[in-house]
Structure 1
Amino acid sequence: MPTRVLVEYIDEHRDRFGVEPICTALTAAGTQIAPSTYYAAKTRAPSARSVSDAATTTLIEKIHAENYGVYGIRKVHAELRRQGHAVARCTTHRLMRSVGLQGVSRAKGPRTTIPGSGPDTRPDLVQRAFTATAPDQLWVADITYC
């Protein structure tokens, strides 16, 4: 389990149980975390990647909103490059996915059969009895492939 998740969990319950007992219980459950790891994670400055990601995510959200939410990864990445921000396309993809942004696709969805709304005018000639007592008495065909 990532340290970030463990730190958030400890933060939620530290007032009730304390840091050391929570770390002991987590270690007994198979998740190794020491109290010193928790305190180090709390006092550590944010990483360069997280700071950069936060700034880039703000720009991506702005570009996406300015273009009515229709720009996808390719166009958002191109717009970032035009504005002078050197961001990799995979980073743009990762950040857009993390905040739930996606473009609008021109492709049509899957075409399915739309059933008719009128009455079924075909008569049921065999009254749903599909068994015959001898050969060549009842012929049934399946036209679902049409």
Structure 2
Amino acid sequence: MVVGRSMKPSQHRDLVLDALIMTVWHRRSTESVVVHSDQESQYESDDWLRFCRDHDLDTSMSRRGNCFDNVLAESFFSSLKKERIRRKIYPSREEARLDVIDYIKVFYNRSRRCSHIGDVSPVTFEHASLLDFPRWRGHFAKT
């Protein structure tokens, strides 16, 4: 499920920090959390590493050039491009941002069936997981 997101004209540390802050705020988990990223420089910034350390987040980087380390994120972005933004021309960045948010919150998380989680939506999968793991109940915000 996509929990944190951020869109900016360029990829700087603020972009990834905004998405991470959104994730931490929504999840409020007391369990160990692993943040998996690629090897871009914004994931090695002092601010990023300090934020992860201060919020007890374990960082994990993919190996250089190995897309299989981050296959779920790669799959999501492939779906987003194919199903929503390919061949579209947006009149403004704001309209593009709103369309991507709609895709994530309304379609992808709630309705899109994902084969890697048993052909159910991410929200359905998470709700079923919460029923199986009552110790997690209450730690996750409703989407």
Higher RCO (C-alpha 8 Å, min separation 6): 2
The alignment's TM-score, normalised by the length of structure 2, stands at: 0.25
Which of the two has greater helix per residue? 2
Which protein is richer in strand relative to its size?
A: 2
Normalising by the residue count of structure 1, what TM-score does the alignment of the two structures yield?
A: 0.25
Larger Rg: 1
